[in-house]
């Protein structure tokens, strides 16, 4: 190989390689050598060795790998500072997101404690902060309010016979619903992780996730409006429930509680201003200012001082029990009611966690095991449900704080858990006077990042229209069908777009860039030149059952060959040619026999010879009469049909092997009568069109207009199918490729394949694709190898250069 670094050129000299030559050159392994037998795989999986046992234990419980190597001197202080910062964020977010889940605020603190400790042992991400998350809290709240609506817990007051809400019974039942939903979702995650189903998160594309979280943020706003205005809208379920809820809220706006609205407005304004100041000073501050915690403390002190609940009827958090609750078994009888919601929670929670985990891992240079993350997240949910926790996953805001404040390991999660634990044990009762409107305001302000995702519409409009449609459909379906059905519909539509793009790929004919071995689309590159006599066809997607027929139709269109009509007409003309040869042969025999009789009679009789009609001559006269009758009928039929497809009859006489060279023209489409005749001919009918006389051909050509002729279609001798984009192939595609090879070979066009991956060649071998006529010598390493072989085998010079004028003189109309 000669290379010139200065000029950037190179030259490679090697032989043209097909698959057979490549296997011999590279000594490719056989299928049995590449793939172990199933029995050997089972033996290896069940064989237990000490190194294998150690790896299994370390991978199942990652803390055993990194904790013995933990350096207190290097990591202790950064993890402590990071843990305290995240723990301070856990307190307001835990209580606020508990309102989204429709459970008492103390259960939000429980949710911030137990799952984080479980993830410490089983998680593989060093920076994910496990706990409450907005979207999951909303999804849990939709389940709890559906199965435990307020109407189920109305009771009659014995004093004045009025209906009042049994808040304690309602909250207790909602906690049970949230716990069993979390337990089932965690169990699903563990099972998916055990069977190595971690790749399921890849089916949630980024536009889908961002649109889903944006719609979930809108759900959160609707859910918190009742706390901001202190109104009591009706509870709606099923599709369009958000629309009905918004309509009901608008009707209740005149009944807004003004003190509550004032508290909400002031809190929102102060939070937005403080967060903007925090962002402005982020580069100068070692840790972010705990704005939410300061807001909660200030609001609690103000509410206790002026007695907002007693004097102005502003709703407050109420009693917060101190201490930890005893673990209890989730109510398994509710499994059937929550299984769909649990699956949605499992998938969404995992998708959010693994996306954050992989982002931090890529940034800091470590690996996150997707399957182990499923197990860790599932155990965090399942174990946490025994302590009345609701579904958790990684929080973007807390994870970013844990990473930016210097957190190195999940020891930061333990430190944040200790902050929450101290709050539950000793400080929980101090927040009993905290107004619920303040927590609702914290939720709304924290949704600012999700509201910014609506700018994705503009970005996707410029980048990808299909991703934009996925975004819009996801948002609309989530808003109208609620979070569970919306997620299912969004995933189904997203997968449909993938299938649609594989069914409607870009088909192109490639041309050579002069002076190189590169081949590009001739329609999009001006300098690309089509190789004379060779058509290089490529699809932008793999060929499989859903697009195999479209692939064949596109090949016909791009190559310009009406293969079906050409084969039918070729067979018809060959049948006519055989009949002509048989008649000529019989005529020659009769002439020779007649001459012999005449000579014999001349010797025996001196008078004029008598001419007798033999039996075979009568038969020939009858055949000719039938042919002439058929010709007249065919002529009449052509006059009725008008202009159609023009085909050119054989230009060379039949060779001894029975083959002749054919030329064709492409024109209009035959009518139903012709199609019926085609189907009959495919069954073996070889009836001729009519007389083969020159007069008949001349009459046929008089009925052909120049506008019906179209372009020449048989100006190629080889077709190369570029399969470099294929990553798999199924039986339908194999059969389609086999039919292409068979049909085009019948009209003397060679078919070659190029760019096949090794896996594709293996699948072709298993599918009995190769035969005596279709061998591995027809499969080439690259397009350039195939082109060189075609030109050497058939040659550009063998391509006939057609002149339309002589061709019209021997054409016949179909």
- Find the DSSP H helices in 504-608: 548-559, 563-604
- 235-246 per-position pLDDT tens digit: 777 788 889 989
Whole-number pLDDT of residue 159: 62
Reduce the DSSP state of residue 267 to 3 states and report it.
Answer: helix
Distance CA 499, CA 653 (A): 50
72 pLDDT higher than 70: yes
Contact 38, 29 (CB under 8 A): no
Q: Closest Cα partner for 208 from 455, 494, 499, 501?
A: 494
Distance CA 741, CA 718 (A): 11
559 pLDDT higher than 90: no
Contact 667, 807 (CB under 8 A): no
Q: Assign residue 375 a region: left if phi > 0, alpha if psi is -120 to 50, beta otherwise? A: alpha
Reduce the DSSP state of residue 226 to 3 states and report it.
Answer: helix
- Eight-state DSSP code of residue 30: P
Whole-number pLDDT of residue 1: 46
What is the pLDDT confidence band of residue 670, given thresholds at 50, 70 and 90?
Answer: very low
Query: What number is the average pLDDT over the span 24-49?
Result: 76
Lowest mean pLDDT among 350-354, 410-414, 746-750, 800-804: 800-804
Q: Closest Cα partner for 108 from 88, 124, 121, 94?
A: 94
Distance CA 204, CA 210 (A): 10
Contact 157, 164 (CB under 8 A): yes
Lowest mean pLDDT among 241-250, 356-365, 514-523, 663-672: 663-672
- The two tokens of residue 709 are 């002729």
Whole-number pLDDT of residue 708: 33
- 468-486 per-position pLDDT tens digit: 999 999 999 989 987 778 8
656 pLDDT higher than 90: no
Reduce the DSSP state of residue 393 to 3 states and report it.
Answer: strand
802 pLDDT higher than 80: no
606 pLDDT higher than 90: no
In sequence order, what are the beta bridge partners of 616? none
What are the structural domains, with CATH classification, of the chain?
Answer: 79-152+165-316+332-500 (no CATH), 505-564+714-794 (3.30.750.24)
- 126-161 per-position pLDDT tens digit: 999 999 998 899 889 989 988 998 888 887 766 655
For residues 117 and 606, the model is more confident at 117
Query: What number is the average pLDDT over the span 620-640?
Result: 45
616 pLDDT higher than 80: no
Percent of the chain whose pLDDT exceeds 70 = 81
**CA separation (Å) from 574 to 522, 564, 583?**
36, 16, 14
- 191-214 per-position pLDDT tens digit: 999 988 887 777 778 888 888 888
Percent of the chain whose pLDDT exceeds 90 = 26
Element (H, E) at 304: helix 291-306
DSSP string, 101-154: TTS-HHHHHHHHHHHHHHHHHH---SS--EE--HHHHHHHHHHHHHHS-GGGGE
Query: What number is the average pLDDT over the span 653-666?
Result: 43
Whole-number pLDDT of residue 714: 60
- 700-745 per-position pLDDT tens digit: 433 333 223 333 346 788 999 999 988 888 889 888 988 888 888 8
What is the pLDDT confidence band of residue 361, given thresholds at 50, 70 and 90?
Answer: confident
Q: Closest Cα partner for 712 from 562, 524, 574?
A: 562
Q: Closest Cα partner for 445 from 812, 92, 123, 19?
A: 92
595 pLDDT higher than 80: yes
What is the pLDDT confidence band of residue 188, given thresholds at 50, 70 and 90?
Answer: very high
658 pLDDT higher than 60: no
Query: What number is the average pLDDT over the span 388-395?
Result: 93
Whole-number pLDDT of residue 562: 78
Cα torsion 483, 486, 487, 490 to 10°: value is -160
């Amino acid at each position: 190989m000669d290379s010139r670094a200065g000029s950037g050129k190179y030259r490679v000299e090697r032989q043209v390689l097909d698959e057979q030559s490549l296997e011999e050159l590279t000594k490719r392994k056989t299928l049995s050598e590449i793939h172990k037998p199933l029995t050997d795989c089972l033996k290896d999986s069940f064989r237990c060795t000490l190194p294998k046992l150690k790896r299994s234990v370390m991978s199942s419980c990652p803390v055993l790998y990194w904790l013995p190597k933990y350096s207190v001197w290097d990591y202790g202080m950064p993890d402590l500072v990071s843990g305290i910062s995240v723990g301070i964020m856990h307190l307001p977010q835990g209580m606020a997101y508990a309102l989204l889940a429709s459970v008492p605020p103390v259960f939000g603190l429980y949710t911030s404690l137990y799952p984080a400790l479980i993830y410490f042992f089983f998680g593989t991400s060093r920076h994910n902060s496990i706990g409450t998350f907005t979207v999951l809290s909303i999804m849990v709240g939709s389940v709890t309010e559906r199965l435990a609506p307020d109407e189920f817990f109305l009771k009659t007051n014995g004093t004045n016979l009025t209906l009042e809400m049994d808040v304690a019974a309602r909250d207790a039942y909602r906690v049970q619903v949230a716990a069993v939903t979390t337990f089932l979702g965690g169990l699903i995650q563990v099972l998916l992780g055990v069977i190595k189903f971690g790749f399921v998160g890849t089916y949630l594309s980024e536009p889908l996730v961002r649109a889903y979280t944006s719609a979930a943020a809108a759900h959160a706003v609707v859910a918190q409006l009742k706390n901001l205005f202190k109104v009591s809208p009706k509870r709606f379920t099923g599709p369009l429930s958000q629309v009905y809820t918004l309509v009901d809220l608008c009707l209740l706006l005149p009944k807004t509680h003004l003190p509550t609205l004032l508290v909400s407005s002031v809190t929102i304004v102060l939070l937005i201003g403080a967060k903007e100041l925090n962002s402005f000073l982020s580069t100068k501050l070692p840790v972010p200012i705990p704005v939410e915690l300061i807001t909660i403390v200030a609001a609690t002190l103000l509410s206790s001082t002026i007695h907002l609940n007693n004097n102005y009827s502003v709703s407050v958090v109420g009693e917060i029990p101190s201490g930890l609750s005893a673990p209890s078994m989730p109510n398994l009888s509710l499994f059937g009611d929550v299984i769909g919601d649990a699956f949605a929670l499992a998938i969404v929670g995992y998708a959010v966690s693994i996306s954050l985990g992989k982002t931090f891992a890529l940034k800091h240079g470590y690996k996150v095991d997707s399957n182990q993350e499923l197990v860790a997240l599932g155990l965090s949910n399942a174990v946490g449900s025994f302590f009345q926790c609701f579904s958790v996953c990684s929080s973007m805001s807390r994870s970013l704080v844990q990473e930016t404040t210097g957190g190195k390991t999940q020891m930061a999660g333990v430190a944040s858990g200790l902050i929450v634990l101290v709050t539950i044990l000793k400080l929980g009762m101090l927040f009993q006077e905290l107004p619920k409107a303040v927590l609702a305001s914290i939720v709304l302000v924290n949704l600012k990042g999700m509201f910014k995702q609506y700018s994705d519409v503009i970005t996707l409009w410029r980048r990808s229209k299909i991703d934009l449609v996925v975004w819009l459909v996801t948002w609309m379906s989530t808003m109208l069908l609620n979070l569970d059905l919306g997620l299912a519909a969004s995933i189904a539509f997203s997968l449909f777009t993938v299938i649609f793009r594989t069914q409607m790929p870009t088909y192109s004919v490639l041309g050579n860039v002069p002076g190189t071995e590169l081949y590009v689309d001739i329609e999009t590159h001006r300098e690309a030149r089509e190789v004379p006599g060779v058509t290089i066809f490529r699809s932008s997607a793999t060929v499989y059952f859903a697009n195999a027929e479209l692939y064949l139709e596109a090949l016909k269109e791009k190559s310009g060959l009406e293969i079906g009509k050409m084969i039918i007409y070729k067979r018809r003309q060959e049948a006519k040619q055989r009949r002509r040869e048989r008649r000529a042969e019989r005529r020659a025999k009769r002439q020779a026999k007649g001459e012999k009789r005449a000579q014999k009679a001349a010797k025996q009789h001196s008078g004029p010879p008598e001419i007798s009609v033999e039996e075979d001559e009568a038969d020939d006269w009858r055949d000719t009469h039938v042919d002439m009758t058929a010709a007249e009928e065919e002529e009449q039929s052509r006059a009725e049909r008008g202009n159609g497809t023009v085909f050119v009859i054989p230009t060379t006489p039949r060779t001894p092997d029975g083959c002749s060279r054919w030329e064709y023209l492409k024109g209009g489409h035959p009518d139903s009568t012709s199609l019926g005749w085609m189907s009959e001919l495919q069954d073996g009918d070889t009836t001729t069109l009519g007389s083969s006389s020159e007069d008949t051909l001349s009459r046929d050509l008089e009925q052909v207009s120049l506008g019906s002729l179209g372009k020449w279609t048989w100006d190629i001798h080889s077709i190369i199918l570029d399969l470099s984009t294929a990553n798999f192939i199924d039986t339908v595609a194999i059969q389609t490729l086999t039919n292409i090879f068979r049909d085009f070979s019948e009209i003397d066009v060679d078919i070659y394949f190029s760019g096949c991956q090794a896996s594709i060649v293996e699948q072709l071998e298993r599918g009995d694709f190769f035969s005596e006529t279709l061998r591995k010598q027809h499969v080439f390493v690259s397009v350039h190898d195939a082109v060189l072989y075609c030109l050497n085998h058939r040659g550009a010079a063998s391509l006939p250069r057609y002149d339309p004028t002589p061709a019209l003189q021997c054409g016949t109309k179909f």
